[in-house]
Amino acid sequence: MTALALALLLAPGAGALARLDGAQSLAIGRRIWQNECGGKVDELTHWNQGEDFASLGIGHFIWYPAGRRGPFTESFPGALDAVAASGRPLPAWLKGRPPCPWNSREEFFADFRSPRMNELRALLADTVAVQARYAAGRLEAALPQLLAAAPRRKRKALRRRFEAVAAAPNGVYALMDYVNFKGEGISPTERYDGLGWGLLQALELMEDAPPGQPAVEAFARAADAALTRRTEHAPPERRERERGWLPGWRARLKTYLEP
């Protein structure tokens, strides 16, 4: 399967449901960029308050400084690999999967208009479709991973719900965006009080859509429930309620229902 493929396995032995061409990749990439960054070039390089990592690219892919690892899966090195594999040369300082060169949010923003940061933003703005295909590849790998992580008794329902969303209008975009946005839900470190909020948990909370009702609506409701639960169980030091992240997350989920 090439880097351009988004394969959603509908049944054992089934082939690819959909493949993203360049135009589709660019369209989905721009939607993800709008969700994460408001479509702004400056927002392609960001560092959230209270975080120990930079958030880069259309999907705000996580990049940790040297010697630092948090509970969330690092994804920016993989995005750089995808850019390099596309044939786009990387600046020398980004080759070889280096750690994030900025060690704190203060250091990051003090360097925000430096030649190095400007070069990074230009690279990210010029590779939107490549980053979208990278996000598609993450979704491609998500289904077998989450089925393997789920109890055997739940796997049939999880697969059925995944397939229903994937087959619905906007479904591929919704699944791609959510996996990029909140992860697969399989990492044991991405839990509060033992409860996760990734794709696995959204599918677990999802109700099967009645005939005639778009499955994406049911998925968006379940994702909202998973994210609300996350906020309710977040450790006090994360200050997720005070930072007001949930309304923004809900606004993002609403885009799954838009044409």
Which of these ranges, 2-16, 145-159, 181-195, has the smallest mean pLDDT? 2-16
Mean pLDDT, rounded, for 135-144: 87
SS3 of residue 192 by DSSP? strand
- pLDDT for the residue 69: 82
In 3D space, the residue among 133, 157, 164, 151 whose CA is nearest the CA of residue 10 turns out to be 164
Residue 135's Cβ-side half-sphere holds a number of Cα atoms within 13 Å equal to 35
Sign of CA pseudo-dihedral 221, 224, 229, 232: negative
pLDDT of residue 8: 34
> How far apart, in whole angstroms, are the C-alpha atoms of residue 68 and residue 40?
28
- Token reading at 146: 């989450």
Residue 14 has pLDDT above 60, yes or no: no
Q: Alpha helix locations (H) across 8-151?
A: 22-37, 76-85, 105-110, 115-125, 128-149
- Tell me: pLDDT of 113 over 70: yes
Say if residue 259's pLDDT is above 80: no
pLDDT in tens, 65-107: 999 887 888 999 999 999 999 999 999 999 999 999 999 999 9
Residue 19: predicted pLDDT? 55
Give me the residue spans of the domains in the chain. 26-128, 150-257
The reported pLDDT for the residue numbered 4 is 28
Residue 186 or 15, more confident: 186
* pLDDT computed for residue 11 by the predictor: 32
Is the model's pLDDT at 137 over the cut of 90? no
- Quick one: average pLDDT of 207-236? 91
pLDDT of res. 138: 85
Query: Quick one: pLDDT at residue 3?
Result: 27
Please check the confidence at residue 32 and state whether its pLDDT lies above 60. yes
Global pTM value: 0.78
What is the structure's pLDDT at 62?
95
CA dihedral 199, 249, 5, 155 (to 10 degrees): 10
**Is 6's pLDDT higher than 70?**
no
Share of the chain above pLDDT 70, in %: 92
Strand boundaries in the chain, DSSP class E = 5-6, 18-19, 45-46, 54-56, 61-63
Rg, Å, the chain Cα set: 18
Q: Which residues have a Cβ under 8 Å from the Cβ of 57 and sit 6 or more positions away?
A: 44, 76, 79, 124, 131
Lowest mean pLDDT among 8-12, 126-130, 133-137, 232-236: 8-12
Split at pLDDT 50, 70, 90, the class of 142 is: confident
Average pLDDT, the chain: 88
Check whether 25 has a pLDDT greater than 90: no
Q: What is the distance between the alpha carbons of residues 158 and 203, in angstroms, rounded to a whole number? A: 6
Question: Is residue 122 a contact partner of residue 114, using CB atoms and an 8 Å limit?
Answer: no
Mean pLDDT in residue range 155-172: 91
